[in-house]
Amino acid sequence: MSKTPQQIALMAESGRLLASVFGYLDRLDLLGMSTLQVNDLVDNYIVDELKARPASKGQYGFAYAMNTSRNEVVCHGVPSADDILRDGDLVNFDITLEKNGYIADSSKTYLIGKVSDQARQLAEVTYEAMCKGIEAVKPGARLGDIGHAIERHARAHRYSVVREYCGHGIGREMHEPPEVLHWGKAGTGLTLREGMTFTIEPMLNRGTADVRTLRDGWTVVTRDGQLSAQFEHTVAVTREGVRVLTLRPEELHLSRISA
């Protein structure tokens, strides 16, 4: 379950490359693009520019380089030529990248055009909730501390936390132990130790936490049709605390806790 410093260095390189994919997305004018167009651009960028592998492609039979989850889609959205990014949309891009045998996993919710105050606040609080979870990571802390920090922040803003999906260990495989729940009781669960690597990826809903899966077998949506947002980073437990392996250049506040 724990990784050596050399293995974490390889994961950090995958994470650095993955962060650059989001930098690439940040420079695109997403308004009016289909989610399939975005997927194809990301696929080509990872393969041609970064000489890496989009790890989601082919995983569990999934045919694409990324998940594209728009508005009421909670997670696992499937890229489509008919799914057009329109003014006011929220869309989460969830991308995994493998380089030198190690995988990094990260996602970011984008605001398309002029979004409502409600949508913007949901995205902001979801990001903050992920950060609260990351800040709880250190040797000797418990997995429940992470979930508790996330859930407390979400509830303070009257959002619900999706419980059917969670973070996970990661390394040579996309999904490794342990499961990292985004709710929980402080002081409970597995004790964290140096070298552990896992994702923190809360999904927050404006309405209830209830979700359902569409007939395609992939797309998960809010049962009440209200908005959902998600952010995700891959982290490593260090001797001093936590290192965010997929840190993006603009995240200076996280770099201060990432050792």
pLDDT greater than 80 at residue 252: no
CB 20 within 8 A of CB 243: no
pTM: 0.96
* CATH 3.40.640.10 holds for 5-257: no
pLDDT greater than 70 at residue 255: no
The residue ranges of every structural domain in the chain are: 5-257
Residue with tokens 């930098």: 23
> Whole-number mean pLDDT of the chain?
96
Residue with tokens 């962060």: 19
With 0-12 CB in 10 A as exposed, 13-18 as middle and 19+ as buried, what is 114? exposed
- Please state, in angstroms and rounded to a whole number, the distance separating the CA atoms of residues 203 and 127: 10
pLDDT greater than 90 at residue 62: yes
- The whole-number average pLDDT for the span 82-100 is 98
pLDDT at 111: 98
pLDDT at 258: 57
pLDDT at 243: 97
pLDDT at 86: 98
Which helix (H) or strand (E) is 24 found in, with range? helix 5-26
Q: What percentage of the chain has pLDDT greater than the value 70?
A: 98
For residue 105, say whether it is annotated as part of any ligand binding site: yes
For residue 175, say whether it is annotated as part of any ligand binding site: yes
For residue 94, say whether it is annotated as part of any ligand binding site: yes
CB 187 within 8 A of CB 158: no
- pLDDT interval class at 249 (50, 70, 90): confident
For residue 98, say whether it is annotated as part of any ligand binding site: no
- pLDDT interval class at 17 (50, 70, 90): very high
Q: What percentage of the chain has pLDDT greater than the value 90?
A: 95
Q: What is the DSSP letter of 60?
A: G
- The whole-number average pLDDT for the span 151-168 is 98
- Please state, in angstroms and rounded to a whole number, the distance separating the CA atoms of residues 157 and 120: 13
For residue 201, say whether it is annotated as part of any ligand binding site: yes
pLDDT at 257: 65
